[in-house]
Copies of this chain bind each other. A is one copy, B any other.
Amino acid sequence: MKYLRYLLIALPLMVYFRWSDPESGWAFLTAALSILPLAGYMGHATEELAEHMGPKLGGFLNATFGNATELIIALFALKAGHLEVVKASIIGSIIGNILLVLGLSVLVGGLLHGVQRFCTETAKINATTLLLAVIAMLVPSLFMHYHSAVDGASVKLSVGVSVILLLVYAAVLYFGFRHAGARAGALTGSGKDVQQGPQQGNHGEGWSKRKALAVLVISTIAVALASEVLVGSLEHTVATLGWPEAFIGIILIPIIGNAAEHSSAVLMAAKNQIEVATEIAIGSSIQIALFVAPLLVLAGLIFGQPMTMVFNEFELVAMVLSVWIAKSISKDGETNWLEGLMLLATYAIVAIGFAFA
C-alpha cells in the first residue's frame, strides 16, 4: 500500500494521454497503473468511513463498496458494449481471489510461520456460499448450451437468477451481522479492522469522518475517469498486443482492480493472521459472485446492453475447480506452504490455458 502510492504519478500522465492519444497503449498502461493506488485509497477511505458509522451501517458500507473498483471498471466496459470482457472479469476476479490471492497468502504465511490455523466455522459458511454462487452462475450457461434457446430467454433467466442471488447476498449479510457478532465475517470487512486494531501503525491515528468522505469521493471520481480511459483504449491495445480479450478480462483487469486488496491479504498472512487473509480473499470472491455480477446483469438492462450470465465451459470449469481446491484446502482449518504453492500452480495452469485460448 505504502509503495503503491508512488504509482499516483501515472495519473497526470494518463490525463495527458487521454487528450493527446486516447486509444494508445500508453493511455491503457497509465490508466491501469493509476487505478492501483486509487483503488487502495478508495478501499482505505471506505474502511475509515465505516469506522465512523458504527458496526452495522459500516459493515454494510464495506459490503457494498468492497469491490467498487471492479464494479466501476465493469460498468464502463458494459456501457461500451464489451460484454465478453465484463463476463471474463467476473470469472477472473473470483478465480484470482481464490487461487492467486489466497495462494500467495497461504504460501507466504506458511513459509514464515509454518502451519497456520483458522476458524473452520466461517470457512464452511464461506465455502457453501461460494458453492451456491457457482451453481447459480452455471445454470444460465447450461441452459444456453444444451437448449440453444433464444437469447431473450437467456437474459430473462439471468435476471431471475440475479434477483435470487441479491436476496441470498442480503441474507448472508444479515446472518453475518446477526450471528457472527464482533468478528463480523468475511463480507462486511469489519473483521479486518477489528484484527488490524493492535497494529494500527499503518492506519495512522484514523481519519476524520470528513477526510474519509472526501478521499472516498475524490478517489472514486478518479477511478471512474481512469476506468473510462482504460476501457476506451482497450480495443486498440488488444489489437496492438495481440492478446485475446478474454485474457485481459480474466487475468489483467482483476489484478488491476484488486491489487490493493490483494497486497493487504498477503500482508495479513505474513503477520500470521491467515484467517483475515482468507476472509479478504474468499469474501471478495463471494461479493463478486453474489453482488457485483447480479448488479451488472441488472445494469445491462438499464444500459440497453442486455448481459447474460452465460459463460463458456472453460471459464465455468476453471471456476468450479478453483472452488473445489479452495474447499479442499480450507476445510480442516489448517494451511501450509505446499497448499499455497498448489493454489498458485493451479492459477498458473489456468492462466496458461486462457493465454493460449
| A residues whose Cβ falls under 8 Å from a Cβ of B | 120, 124-125, 127-129, 131-132, 134-136, 138-140, 142-143, 145-147, 149, 153, 156-157, 160-161, 164-165, 167-168, 171-172, 175, 179, 312-314, 317-318, 321, 324-325, 327-329, 331-332, 336-339, 341-342, 345-346, 348-350, 352-353, 356-357
Q: Judge whether A353 and B142 touch: CB under 8 Å.
A: yes
The interface residues of chain A, by DSSP majority, are classed as helix
Complex CA–CA separation, A321 to B323 (angstroms): 12
In the complex, what distance in Å separates the CA atom of A342 from the CA atom of B156? 21
Q: Interface centre among A143, A342, A349, by most B CB within 10 Å?
A: A349
Q: How far is the CA of A161 from the CA of B142 in the complex (A)?
A: 26
A140 → B minimal CB distance (Å): 7
Task: From B134, B147, B342, give the contact of A168 (CB < 8 A).
Answer: B342
- Docked Cα-Cα span, A352 to B352, in Å, equals 35
**CB-CB under 8 A for A325 and B135, given A157-B353, A345-B168, A356-B157:** yes
Q: A132-B342, A345-B167, A349-B135 are in contact. Are A328 and B328 (CB under 8 A)?
A: no
- Measured between C-beta atoms, what is the minimum distance from A245 to chain B in Å? 14
Q: Report A293 CB to chain B, min CB distance, Å.
A: 13
Tally of this chain's copies: 3
Chain B residue with minimal CB distance to A343?
B132
Our pick among B156, B164, B331, B336 for the contact of A345 (Cβ within 8 Å) is B164
**Closest A-B pairs by Cβ, 4 of them:** A139-B353, A175-B338, A132-B342, A135-B321
Most buried by B among A139, A161, A327: A139
Residue with the highest number of chain B CB atoms closer than 10 Å, among A125, A171, A318, A338: A338
Contacts of A132 in B (CB 8 A): 325, 342, 345-346
Per the bound structure, the CA–CA distance linking A167 and B342 in Å amounts to: 10
A317 CA / B357 CA spacing, docked (Å): 22
Contact yes or no, A349 B161, CB < 8 A: yes
How far, in Å, is A139 (CB) from chain B's closest CB? 4
Contacts of A350 in B (CB 8 A): 135, 139
